[in-house]
Structure 1
Amino acid sequence: MRVLLIGSDTTLGVALEQHLSRWGRHDYECVTFAASRWKSERHAKKVIRRCQPDLLIDARIQGAVDSGEPLFEPDIDRCHWLAKACQRNGVAYFLLSSSRVFAGQQERPYAEDDLPDNEGTLGSMLQQSEQRVRATCDRHVILRLGPVFSHRGRNLFTNLMAQLHSGGKLSLDSSQRGCPVAASDAARIIAGVLDQLSAGAETWGNYHYCSPDTTNCYEFTQVLLTAASSFAEFDPEAVTLCEEPGEQSISRRLDCSRLRNTFAIKQLSWRSFVADALKLYFDSLQHSES
């Protein structure tokens, strides 16, 4: 299968490109987030015609959400442009989205058929991007993910590690609960879906994936602090963690049974990826300082 990856420089885009390169089961071409901020629909059409992919993976929106990169209305419009070009050229559209499409007020995990109810600006933009793809391109997959972390780029992990390195008192919210996903694990999931789509599976629609382990920012940072203490470059005594309950409890857990039942892909705990992420983080830190 020939794949066009848009947003290849996002945290997940980098991990996915590495995964595709390592296994070599699919040909692929990459477009960075900045290069995909086209001024008109004509530019989006040209990319599709030039690359002639079988499937497009759009990592732009999810990448912006987890990195804190601001999203603008034209970014959502580009989903529509790409979806129209995909529909016209027989290309499948794989949109990566986020659990933040939901408000987090539901006690049980959110299923794919639950109505997205996050009324904030970010939630609205996620909903619009999904709606544009769903309404315009028949052959689509929308994969909502928990917060994606990695040792590189701007994301939950690197932001917290930078704060831990700075030392001092660190106040952390414990009211918002979710299920983080390592970028390498998310890449595994996406590649597994690609393999089955390339084999002829017609399994279009919405899917969810996240870790089976729920946590909050305070607990996640505790795990990082404990694991990082084994690295000589880090002084855990210089950091004090303080738990700060927020005014409102939020839980964005995702029900991942549809993905498991459709593609036979099981969930992995985010905790099992922390040690490797820390090693790579400190290795890159040493390399940048040498």
Structure 2
Amino acid sequence: MNVFLIAAPSALQQALCHWFEMRGRAFQQVLPAAVPELGQSDLAGSIVVEIATLDAFQRGQELALSGDDRHGLLDQARLAGAPVLFLSDGRVFDGDYAPINHREADKVQPGSIPGARLAAVEHLLERQLEQYLVLRTGPLFSEVGDNFFTGLFADLVRGGEIALNSGLKTCPTHVADLARVVSAVVDQISCGAQNWGSYHYNSSGQTSAYEFTEVMLAFASQQLDLEKRKTSLRSAEAGQRIEPAVPVLRCEKILHDFGIKQLPWRSYLPQPIKVLCEAKQK
């Protein structure tokens, strides 16, 4: 089964292309602006993987697809019998009083504009398609581009005291981990799996910005002399948070239906820290 990957250039797009290539999965990248050109014949025998919307919202940007273009895409996918996999995140629950342990069956309660927009797209898929997957995730990080991870690393290298929130919990997820999961889901759908609806995947290990940065500091200190920069961390309610602030998701359903296990975010930290440290030393 071919993949139509709707994505703008990004760290997640690069990670997903890497996984498709590694798995020998045929895929075609389509920029959001080219979506209106896709027809029924283009999508026949394919699965549409739409990551552009999540990518934009995770980076604080505007919607990548217009409403008309999205409706047109879903109409063409339905006519072609092409499943659609849409990436969303846990902000569809950020209006709930409980910030952790949301299941797929929980009522969607967005409290933010990104959460409401993601929820609206999810509802649209549910109304228009029988064969669709919504995969909700956590706050994404990467050593590439601007995100909370590269921002925190810059703060560590700059030195001095860094005030960090220690109360708000979330599950940061490296783009390579999410790409692994998307690739595995596509493989199983290609083999005939009929698991449709909403699923959750974020890396395991609830953490705060303070705890996450403590681990970053430990790894970075092995390669850079941060003592000279007098880098220190301070817990503060008004300190930096992991952004975007995405509620914690429970991920048992994807394990039960697809056999996909959660991996800890800690296991993904050493390599990106090494890359950033080596770039700093050049």
TM-score normalised by L of structure 2: 0.88
Amino acid at match of 1:196: Q
* Structure 1 residue identity aligned to 2:157: H
Choose from 190, 196, 209 the match for 1:204: 196
Q: Which amino acid aligns with 1:6?
A: I
Question: Residues 251-290 of structure 1: CA distance to partner in whole angstroms, max 9, x if unpaired?
Answer: 711111110000111111000110012123334556xx6x
The answer to whether residue 213 in structure 2 is matched with residue 217 in structure 1 is no
Task: Tell me which moved more, 121-130 or 151-160.
Answer: 151-160
Shift of 1:46: 2.7
Q: Give the structure 1 partner of residue 14 of structure 2.
A: 14
Q: Does 1:46 align with 2:27?
A: no
Match of 1:112 in 2: 104
Work out the number of aligned pairs and report it: 276
Q: How far 1:197 sits from its partner (Å)?
A: 0.5
Alignment of 1:169-188 (within 5 A): 169-188=161-180
Residue 28 of structure 1 pairs with residue 23 of structure 2? no
Structure 2 vs 1, CA of residues 284 and 50 (structure 1 numbering), >3 Å: closer, same or farther?
A: farther
Q: Residue in 1 aligned with 2:47? A: 55
The alpha-carbon distance between structure 1 residues 20 and 161, as it changes in their structure 2 partners (threshold 3 A), is same
Aligned letter for 1:110?
H
Distance (Å, rounded) in 2 between the aligned partners of 1:254 and 1:230: 32
- Give how far 1:183 is off: 1.1
Give the gaps of 5 or more residues in structure 2.
none
Distance in 1, matches of 2:32 and 2:84, equals: 15
Is the Cα contact below 8 Å between 1:76 and 1:128 reproduced in 2? no
Q: Secondary structure at the match of 1:129?
A: helix
The answer to whether the 8 A contact 1:142-1:205 is kept is yes
1:185: Cα distance to partner? 1.1
Question: How far off its partner does 1:36 sit?
Answer: 0.9
TM-score of the aligned structures, taking structure 1 as reference length: 0.86
The question of 1:266 aligning with 2:261 is answered: yes
SS of the residue corresponding to residue 269 of structure 2 reads: helix
CA contact (8 A) 1:59 1:96 kept: yes
Cα gap change, 1:91/1:285 in structure 2, threshold over 3 Å: closer, same or farther? Answer: farther
C-alpha spacing 1:251/1:129, structure 2 compared with 1 (3 Å): closer
Point out the more displaced range, 236-245 or 206-215: 236-245
The 3 A distance-change label for structure 1 pair 107 and 67 is closer
The AA in structure 2 aligned to 1:13 is Q
Distance, in Å, in 2 between the alignment partners of 1:56 and 1:10 is: 18
2:127 & 2:4 partners in 1: Cα distance? 21
CA shift in 2, pair 1:123/1:22, >3 Å: same
* Deviations 1:137-164 (CA, angstroms, capped at 9, x unpaired): 2210000001111111232212221222
Give the Cα–Cα distance (whole angstroms) in 2 for the partners of residues 166 and 30 of structure 1.
38
Equivalence for 1:241: 233
Give per-residue Cα distances to partners, 1:214-265, cap 9 Å, x unaligned. 0011211111111111113x52542232222159x98711111110000111
Paired residue type of 1:220: F
Distance between the aligned counterparts of 1:246 and 1:71, measured in 2?
29
Identify the residue that residue 125 of structure 1 maps to in structure 2.
117
Partner of 1:143: 135
Query: Greater share of strand residues, 1 or 2?
Result: 1
